Amino acid sequence: MLIVMDKTASEAEIAAVVAKIEALGYTAQTIPGGERMAIGILRNPGPVDPALFIDLPGVIEAIPVSRSYKLVSREMKRENSIIVLPQGVKIGGGHFVVMAGPCAVESELQAFTIARAVKAAGAQVFRGGAFKPRTSPYSYQGLEEEGLKILARVRDEIGLPVITEAIDHYSLDLVEQYADIIQIGARNMQNFSLLRRAGQARKPVLLKRGMSATLDEFFMAAEYILAEGNTQVILCERGIRGIGAHARNTLDLAAIPYVKKESHLPIIADPSHAAGRRLLVPPLARGAVAVGADGLIIEVHHDPIHALSDGPQSLYPEQFAALMRDIQTLRPGQWL
């Protein structure tokens, strides 16, 4: 149930609605809108009777919410959410963002070389894994805290906000200290205790869709984060398991307009992990822009042959720069 307050509702009237919800044993979540306040009712096991609220002072509507994901849905919040990073970069609601960098931070020199190149091409956020969730325990696992320190130096010296993945509670505590956006990877989309921990963080979270997750499961995973109080969530379509060997995964382009219809949260695309091969990355990226993605996250490496992870899908800096020019054609005036 969503209780919509009148534009002129006072603080006391809002507090009275919250108190009534809590007296019924449910949770109230205030959802400030452009013009008026709304209050969501959460953790109600069955339907709530609108008559309990409709006559309270300051209430104009009590709307039943049919979706099981509530805070994520447009039923609860109609306007697009816009995530604002401390450096002023905005994501969502018409603000398009490109995040780029290597799969993994390998050294200070590697990170700075790639960060300079992607910044020169117009990327607004630098990506790089310090904790890597690898399919094989023998694959490169990342520089861990040393990698986070390198990312923080990239931010301070090159001036790009940084995103990096947390794979468990230990790494999330560290990532929260060093990074500007906390990434939760596809393999952890249903790690519910990690999602709760991300919901308690006070930094934006990029949640990737699990490689076999339905969109309902994806929304419910995001709901875990919002239900803990962190509304700064960016969704990411990174490809789901397909049937062919031509690509590592299948980029589900239909997910992007569907997510935008159902949810106010921004959704970006990761064509790199979807493709698995650099040849396929630029066309998939252009496709994602064309279907309305709010941004892209792309792997770029200056020496992909020697990359310690995901070299085959990493663009050379000049390929990335060419893709950025294509995006400006698709979204004229983007970076003016």
Site string for ligand PEP, 194-233 (x = CB under 6 A): --------------x-------------------------
CB nearer to ligand PEP: give 20 or 238: 238
Using CB under 5 A as the binding rule, the residues of this chain from 89 to 148 that contact Mn ion are 103
Does 248 contact ligand PEP by CB under 6 A? no
Query: Candidates 29-37, 147-155, 181-189, 227-235 — which segment interacts with ligand PEP by CB under 6 A?
Result: 181-189
- State in angstroms the smallest separation of the CB of 126 from ligand PEP: 13
CA 326, 327, 333, 336 torsion-angle sign: negative
CB nearer to Mn ion: give 227 or 240: 240
Residue 102 interacting partner from ligand PEP, Mn ion, none (CB closer than 5 to 8 Å by kind): none
Angstrom CA distances, 273 to 119, 208, 285, 298, stand at 21, 11, 11, 9
Does 28 contact ligand PEP by CB under 6 A? no
Sheet holding 27-32, edge to edge: 27-32, 37-42, 2-5, 59-63
Return the closest-CA partner of residue 231 out of 38, 94, 101, 99.
38
CB nearer to ligand PEP: give 69 or 131: 131
Does 273 contact ligand PEP by CB under 6 A? yes
Query: Candidates 19-27, 34-42, 183-191, 197-205 — which segment interacts with ligand PEP by CB under 6 A?
Result: 183-191
Which residues pair with residue 207 across a beta bridge? 184, 235
- State in angstroms the smallest separation of the CB of 235 from Mn ion: 18
Contacts to ligand PEP by CB under 6 A: 103, 129, 133, 185-187, 208, 238, 270, 273
Contacts to Mn ion by CB under 5 A: 103, 310
